Structure 1
Amino acid sequence: MPSQASRRKKISIRTKILSGNIIVMICLGIAIGALSMRISSLQDEIEYISSHDIQVHETVNQIQKDLLDMETGLRGFIISGDESYLEPYNSGKARWQTDTNKLKSLVIDNPAQVRNTESIESGLVDWMTNASENAIAYKRSGDTEKLTRFFAEKTGKDRTDALRIQLQSFKETEFGLTEARAASLKDRNESLIGLLYLLWIVVAAISVSTAWIISNTVIKTIRTVSTTIRQIAHQGESLKQRIEVNTRDEMMELGDSTNALLDMLERQNRRKDQVAHIATLLQEQNDIDAVGRQFLSQLVQVFNLPYGVVYVRSQSNQLVKTASFAQSSDNFGRKEFQLGEGLVGQCAAENRTIVLRDVPSGYAAIQSGIGQASPTVVALVPITFERRVVGVIEIGSFSGLARDDIELLEQLGGMLGVTIQSVKSRMEMEQLYTEAQAANEELQVQSEELNAQSLELLTMNDELKRSSNFKSEFLANMSHELRTPLNSMLILSQMLAENRQGHLSEDDISYVNTIYSAGNDLLNLINDILDLSKVEAGKLDIEMGNIILADLQLTVLSNFQEVAAKKKLDFAVTIAPDTPAWLETDGFRLQQILKNLLSNAFKFTEAGKVDLLIGVHANNAWGQQEIAFTVADTGKGIANDKLELIFEAFTQADSGTARKFGGTGLGLTISSSLANMLGGRIEVQSEEGKGSEFTLYLPAQRSIGQSDEAMASKQLATSSSSLAAADPVSIAVSEMPLSTAELRGRHVLLVDDDARNLYALSHVLESLEMTFTIAHDGLESMDRLRNGDTYDCILMDIMMPDMDGFQAIHEIRHTLQLSTPIIAVTAKAMKEDRDKCLEAGANAYISKPVQVQQLISIMVAQMKVEV
């Protein structure tokens, strides 16, 4: 392992990586500098070739051209004698000196070429002086003889040929020099490329070496750490192995941290083994005193303690000394403490560990054979079971206690608490077992009596079940028998109220409306009785959903404004400003409760007003917010002695044969039961002669802010519109949707065994200009369908002789394999009846008495689907 000094002088991995990168960057900088210098040199050579050699070649060419122009002009003048032919000659003569001087300056660095340039210059001078000028003079003077001799002696030609040879030699020399420079440039480029490759290899080697060295250091240490951990995990070693790291970087810190972790795990495992050993020994004890002695014996070995005391909580809530270690006298440790008394009592009262450090001498005397001394640290740890203090451990130490020692003591205190509670429970069970054996004989006698009573209760239970079943069957049959005649009565009265032929007077229409109203009241009575029976049987379904209180406000106003106007009462529905926009409840049942409360308020109010206030109410008893629906009226009020009676079935405050107000007394009973099913309640306050206040409280389970109201209104438009209930009498066929035109001419199979219903429904179909065929039971409907008759829709009654509607629908779907829409029209109004109809194969369900608009809407929807 590296020494501490070497560890302090560590070189971090970051430093190594930065050093390697700096070296690479230096090498790259050197390479870039050398490359820049070489490129600059090549650029100079290229510029020299492009600017110098090309100018030399161009200047030589220009001198050749000057010579050629002078010869051409001289030849033209000699032949023609025209002075204009001497213009090229004169131009060349004017330029040659400038061109030769330029050429001489370009090759100034080459003495041989300078001499060649001077030779060309002297040759031009000699040709012009001794040849061309003489020939021009001969021509101008007309001396033909001299001119002939001049050409015969070839004086000018020899000189011009010599000049051409000199110029060509000069050019060849320059071309050679240019080619030599180009070859040198090429060689240097190849050297530059080779240098670049060499530099790349050097930089790559440095980079790879640096990365290899650093990564090898990191990977080696990581592999060492992972190998050690893997060996510990898979081979079950005893955590003795440690990691050795020789590098002076973060890997050394990783190795040290891993070794520290291994040290901690080793300590924890050792403590766990000690705790497990103590727990095993304690499980073998059956006496609390023995448990305390065994626990202290093991505890002082684990922590190397000189003394210890265990106090256990008695049934009288006193902390009684149960065991001690190294007790020097009978007075070693008090016998008992009250809760809150002394440090022992305070430790138990506060259920927290108390540690005293730097304990003064003489606080406690710990003796041995050769002397005595006081501990330097005293600790008191509560013994707990399920967060309840069942005792206290007090220990002393000469060397002090570390934080993990205190945590282990607290853990051991919890374990000891479980053991003490287990021993107490075992002792109590033994005592109870003894008492149970003593009482067994008495229980046997009582058991025989209970058996006899059980048989009697079973008999009574069977009778109650039979009674309940009889009641349910009676209500279902009674509902069917009442709804069947009501169906025809309501449909026919509704059609008469329309007065489409105009035969009825206003009094006749009033009579018809009265008949309809009476039938509708009877229907409401049937519904109330069914609801009450469902509530009592626990079969009333609650469908929770989100309703918007603003929509509920509009619905209630529309339902009761006409009633308030007829009775000349003020009516208002108000929502308090701090009320949430939404409420999670069953909207239909909520409307049913409010309708009952408001109907009663209008019934018992002759003058004044009826109000519905919706607001927030804080229920201190439940600890949550509630939405309060308060129906207040200025009616006759209710006597205090009758406030409790009004919620009982078939009971009214205004009872007796001479009572003024009618009703069954079921509305408040059903409303109270529905409120309880919705998680709320109904409270009433009333003063006789001044009015009443009925308040429905519902839990505000979920609400949203005003910012979401627009979206909420859109999402719940359908559900909120379903709260509105229109008066069936006011509905006429002429006011129905334009989609009813689709029913005109359609053929319907009408299946019912009741002539009154057939009469009523046939008139509805005739008013819609539909054709229909009547079948009086399921067997007759099957015969008509087997004969090949086709129908656009089938209206099927359920309760029929021979073959009921369920069986008929099943046969149509499975035997005849027909997909004709079937609408079940039945007086069986229970939810399970609707489910049975749909399960049998019906497309839709409508209960009697039939609402004409609802029937037409269902037929339109089903025939659209069929089309």
Structure 2
Amino acid sequence: MHSVPERRKKVSIRTKILFGNIIVMIFLGLAIVALTIRIASMQKEVQFISTHDIQVHESVDQIQKDLLDMETGMRGFVISGSAEYLAPYDTGKARWQTDVNALAALVIDNPAQLRNLDSINSNIQDWTETGAENAIDYKRSGDTASLDRFFEQKIGKTKTDAIRQQLQSFKDTEMSLTNQRVEDLRERNASLIFFLYLLWLFVAIIAIAMAWFVSGSVIKTIRMVSSTIRQIAFQDGKLDRRIEINTRDEMMELGDSTNALLDSIERQNLRKDQVAEIATLLQEQNDIDSVGRTFMNHMVQVFDIPYGILYVRDKSNHLVKNASFADSAENFGRKEFQIGEGLIGQCASEARTMVVNQIPEGYVYIQSGIGQSSPKQLILLPVCFERTVVGVLEIGSFSLLKRSDIELLEQLASMLGVSIQSVNSRMEMEQLYSEAQAANEELQVQSEELNAQSLELLTMNDELKRSSNFKSEFLANMSHELRTPLNSMLILSQMLAENRHGRLNDDDISYVNTIHGAGNDLLNLINDILDLSKVEAGKLDIEMGNVILADLQLTIQSSFQEIAANKNLGFSVHIAPETPAWLETDGFRLQQILKNLLSNAFKFTEAGRVDLRISVQSTNAWGEQEITFTVADTGRGIARDKLGLIFEAFTQADSGTARKFGGTGLGLTISSSLANMLGGRIEVQSEDGKGSEFTLYLPAQRSLSHLDETIAAKQLATGNSLSAADPVSVAASEMPLSTAKLKGRHVLLVDDDARNLFALSHVLESLEMSFTIAHDGLECMDRLRSGDTYDCILMDIMMPDMDGFQAIREIRHTLQLSTPIIAVTAKAMKEDRDKCLEAGANAYISKPVQVQQLISIMVAQMKVEA
């Protein structure tokens, strides 16, 4: 340990710097004062030039103007004889004397110019009295001879020329004086600039001198400190050299602080070397016992600690004695502790360092060959690995340890934890490796068997994929082939049912309605088959959104109220009070499930009632909730032996040849699949002859807030709630049909099927619209290229030669036409709609066409005003 004698400061660096800056500022102040005086003098000179000289020049010009006005007025009067020409003469005569006096006041400090001005004054007065006045009098008296003689002798002209020369000479003299003043001002400015440069040079020399003096004393000391530090750095880490400072300023404090830092670093390096030695020794150990003994033997040497004991956590979570130092007997100390038991167990439980300074007499004795004594301090440190306690270290000391020593002990404990964990992991890995070798042979045998099975599964999977793709393509094509004739059948039967011309009797209308109903049943069958195909292929899209349950209640109520009335059944839709106002799900698919369940309930119920109950229930102890939709009926019920079969495809309630209840047997299958896709399920309870209860369970919206419910209530009160149905369908059904505005519009109808052309043409005729028919895409392009214009194009997709997709692209990209195009096609898959819109169609409608929906789309696309 090196000590530095205390020194008395004489002059600080701050004082030196302030003294130099004060001197510089004094000289700068003197320069500013001199500069201010000189600038004030220059301002006076500039002001004199700008006021006095300019006024002199202006006065000379004014006298010249007065003389010119008098001469011009006199000549005008002599020539014309009109007194009006004497106005300039009179003005100049009345003013010239005043101007001369003003000019004399300005040049009163210049005797030469005053004499010149007196001569000019005399000449002007003489010209006025002997020249101008005489000529005017001759003219007034009509003495033409005297007037001619006056002009022949040029008496007036000679005098005015002389006066002009005198004024010009006077003016030139003043101009030369002005130039002289400007030149003098320029020379004095140059002198001032030279003075400023000289003063700046003087101040710079003073400042540099002061800076050189102050920085010299500072740099000299800093260089000495740096040199000493470099010498220490290049001596292989030896820190025995210290810095000696002779100056009496802050640099002396820098040297003392550096020496103190070197002392601290020397102590820390010694401890680090000892810790590094312990870490190296611990890495060489292969079992827990040797790790504990090695750590204890070297740790007590580093800190001069006379007592220590280490407990290690075993697999049963007990702290077992592992190693100790300076035991007084063979069985000294407890063999093990539980977590939380005693100070050892509490230290492990809290995972924090505990320091005990007040140790009772006789608590523990540390013995040597010549005596024994109690420690002054006990320290318990948790031995951790990644925040997990793997042991506890207890040490006793005769003196109180410093905080830095305790922190270093904590670092050693952490390092010990890594070593213990490393040894345990290595031992476990060795054990696992031996077990893995034993199991490896068995796994190889199983692996060969699994490879053979995998090949079989891959082959089966490929066959299933080919079968599924074939089925999807077959269903899509069959859907198109079935929808094409069904389209014309539904349109024409609907038009016949309207009986606009009154040609059909009631029986005919009943037959037509039966045909239309059968067509709708066939359409529902096609839709069910397509939905089932899309579910099985995993291509059914789910669009999640917020569904207002009160709005859903109104929709279901209105949809089945008439069916219930026709069958004389009671019907209600009830929402429990505790049910949330919103549900996050696919509203369209939810309605599809509920309508399937309700349709089945009405189908199999002949008396009594059908009810839909909506409520909420908790599914587990964590409070997760589900929204339940229970469809209960008083119908025939389902036998227990058939409850497991009703969700299978094409299963009928009554499977005999003379079935009383019809149906495809797909509704419950599709509903169950849709419920699974929405994250829910359908459960059924029923007894034969006692009715049935089908319950749909869907996850509730967990993020629902009171504000959401308030907004939903307001929307319901104002009638602005959103329907859960398909937004396109809702918009089409609620849009006002301005059919009168469609009258006279021209439509291009493109379709290769004569039945569809026949049906759609009758629809357009009923709307009093004109139309042109094209039987394929090529004919459509020919009609558009001919220059005919159309308000709308109804485009079929499946056509020979050029299909609808290609025709739409040609219209948009080749012909660059913006005419609204409505794709009317039997291809009803979702990807078909997307393809039509991507090709450039404005809207899409699938066959069989709903007449009101088609009219709504035409109204919207042709922007017909309501």
Question: TM-score when scaled to structure 2?
Answer: 0.62
Confirm whether residue 703 of structure 1 aligns to residue 701 of structure 2.
Answer: no
Residues 580 and 704 of structure 1 are in contact (CA less than 8 Å); yes or no, is this contact kept in structure 2? no
2:720 to 717, 734, 739: 717
Give the match for residue 143 of structure 1.
Answer: none
Distance 1:265 1:603 in 2: 94
Give the match for residue 322 of structure 1.
Answer: 322
Could you say if the C-alpha distance between residues 391 and 443 of structure 1 is closer, same or farther in structure 2, counting changes exceeding 3 Å?
Answer: same
* 1:688 counterpart letter in structure 2: D
Distance 1:794 1:812 in 2: 11
Deviation at 1:554, TM superposition (A): 0.8
Task: Tell me which moved more, 309-318 or 384-393.
Answer: 384-393
Confirm whether residue 772 of structure 1 aligns to residue 771 of structure 2.
Answer: yes
Could you say if the C-alpha distance between residues 738 and 838 of structure 1 is closer, same or farther in structure 2, counting changes exceeding 3 Å?
Answer: closer
Report Cα offsets for 1:394-433 as digits up to 9, x if no partner.
Answer: 3344456799988887776666545433433333333333
Give the match for residue 80 of structure 2.
Answer: none
Residues 736 and 853 of structure 1 are in contact (CA less than 8 Å); yes or no, is this contact kept in structure 2? no
Report Cα offsets for 1:583-639 as digits up to 9, x if no partner.
Answer: 222111111111112112211211111111222212225631222222222222223
Residues 738 and 864 of structure 2 are in contact (CA less than 8 Å); yes or no, is this contact kept in structure 1? no
**Runs of at least 5 residues in structure 1 that lack an aligned partner in the other structure:** 1-230, 242-263
* 2:454 counterpart letter in structure 1: S
* 1:479 counterpart letter in structure 2: S
Give the match for residue 469 of structure 1.
Answer: 469
Distance 2:449 2:362 in 1: 70
Report Cα offsets for 1:93-133 as digits up to 9, x if no partner.
Answer: xxxxxxxxxxxxxxxxxxxxxxxxxxxxxxxxxxxxxxxxx
Residues 737 and 856 of structure 2 are in contact (CA less than 8 Å); yes or no, is this contact kept in structure 1? no
Could you say if the C-alpha distance between residues 324 and 476 of structure 1 is closer, same or farther in structure 2, counting changes exceeding 3 Å?
Answer: farther
Distance 1:268 1:522 in 2: 92
Residues 742 and 864 of structure 2 are in contact (CA less than 8 Å); yes or no, is this contact kept in structure 1? no
* 2:758 counterpart letter in structure 1: Y
Residues 582 and 704 of structure 1 are in contact (CA less than 8 Å); yes or no, is this contact kept in structure 2? no
Distance 1:452 1:357 in 2: 72
Task: Tell me which moved more, 543-552 or 504-513.
Answer: 504-513
Provide the identity percentage: 80
Corresponding residue SS for 1:668: helix
Could you say if the C-alpha distance between residues 520 and 295 of structure 1 is closer, same or farther in structure 2, counting changes exceeding 3 Å?
Answer: farther
**Runs of at least 5 residues in structure 2 that lack an aligned partner in the other structure:** 1-225, 244-263
Confirm whether residue 534 of structure 1 aligns to residue 537 of structure 2.
Answer: no
Could you say if the C-alpha distance between residues 703 and 294 of structure 1 is closer, same or farther in structure 2, counting changes exceeding 3 Å?
Answer: same
Distance 1:513 1:402 in 2: 102
Confirm whether residue 752 of structure 1 aligns to residue 751 of structure 2.
Answer: yes
Corresponding residue SS for 2:722: helix
Residues 737 and 855 of structure 2 are in contact (CA less than 8 Å); yes or no, is this contact kept in structure 1? no
Could you say if the C-alpha distance between residues 756 and 393 of structure 1 is closer, same or farther in structure 2, counting changes exceeding 3 Å?
Answer: farther
Deviation at 1:329, TM superposition (A): 4.2
Give the match for residue 665 of structure 2.
Answer: 665
Report Cα offsets for 1:710-746 as digits up to 9, x if no partner.
Answer: 5444899363174799999xx9xxx983522232212
Could you say if the C-alpha distance between residues 505 and 383 of structure 1 is closer, same or farther in structure 2, counting changes exceeding 3 Å?
Answer: farther
Give the match for residue 558 of structure 1.
Answer: 558
Corresponding residue SS for 1:685: strand
Distance 1:274 1:649 in 2: 80
Give the match for residue 797 of structure 1.
Answer: 796
Confirm whether residue 645 of structure 1 aligns to residue 645 of structure 2.
Answer: yes
Distance 2:371 2:346 in 1: 32
Task: Tell me which moved more, 783-792 or 376-385.
Answer: 376-385
Corresponding residue SS for 2:693: strand
Distance 1:752 1:373 in 2: 112
Task: Tell me which moved more, 563-572 or 608-617.
Answer: 608-617
Residues 737 and 859 of structure 2 are in contact (CA less than 8 Å); yes or no, is this contact kept in structure 1? no
Corresponding residue SS for 1:580: coil
Give the match for residue 202 of structure 2.
Answer: none
Task: Tell me which moved more, 713-722 or 852-861.
Answer: 713-722
Corresponding residue SS for 2:461: helix
Corresponding residue SS for 2:863: helix
Deviation at 1:569, TM superposition (A): 0.9
Corresponding residue SS for 1:646: coil
Task: Tell me which moved more, 620-629 or 378-387.
Answer: 378-387
* 2:755 counterpart letter in structure 1: R
Distance 1:649 1:270 in 2: 84
Distance 2:350 2:429 in 1: 30
Deviation at 1:341, TM superposition (A): 6.2
Could you say if the C-alpha distance between residues 523 and 351 of structure 1 is closer, same or farther in structure 2, counting changes exceeding 3 Å?
Answer: farther
Report Cα offsets for 1:496-530 as digits up to 9, x if no partner.
Answer: 22221122222322222222222222222222222
* 2:738 counterpart letter in structure 1: S
* 2:704 counterpart letter in structure 1: S
Correspondence 1:248-263 to 2 at 5 A? none
* 1:757 counterpart letter in structure 2: N
Report Cα offsets for 1:355-408 as digits up to 9, x if no partner.
Answer: 666343444333345433334554555545566554333334445679998888
Correspondence 1:2-13 to 2 at 5 A? none
Distance 2:268 2:771 in 1: 90
Give the match for residue 603 of structure 2.
Answer: 603
Deviation at 1:445, TM superposition (A): 4.6
Residues 548 and 721 of structure 2 are in contact (CA less than 8 Å); yes or no, is this contact kept in structure 1? no
Deviation at 1:319, TM superposition (A): 3.5
Correspondence 1:449-598 to 2 at 5 A? 449-598=449-598
Cα RMSD for the two superposed structures: 4.2
Residues 353 and 382 of structure 1 are in contact (CA less than 8 Å); yes or no, is this contact kept in structure 2? yes
Correspondence 1:353-502 to 2 at 5 A? 358-378=358-378, 380-385=380-385, 389-399=389-399, 416-502=416-502
Paired residue total: 607
* 1:427 counterpart letter in structure 2: M
| Aligned structure 1 segments of 4 or more residues deviating by more than 6 angstroms | 264-281, 349-355, 401-412, 723-728
Corresponding residue SS for 1:628: strand
Deviation at 1:555, TM superposition (A): 0.6
Residues 559 and 726 of structure 1 are in contact (CA less than 8 Å); yes or no, is this contact kept in structure 2? no
Give the match for residue 855 of structure 1.
Answer: 854
Distance 1:660 1:274 in 2: 97
Corresponding residue SS for 1:395: strand
Could you say if the C-alpha distance between residues 787 and 395 of structure 1 is closer, same or farther in structure 2, counting changes exceeding 3 Å?
Answer: same
Corresponding residue SS for 2:646: helix
Distance 2:427 2:517 in 1: 76
Task: Tell me which moved more, 451-460 or 545-554.
Answer: 451-460
Corresponding residue SS for 2:613: strand
* 1:703 counterpart letter in structure 2: L
Distance 2:403 2:721 in 1: 66
Corresponding residue SS for 2:392: strand
Distance 2:538 2:278 in 1: 57
Corresponding residue SS for 2:310: strand
Deviation at 1:270, TM superposition (A): 12
* 2:615 counterpart letter in structure 1: G
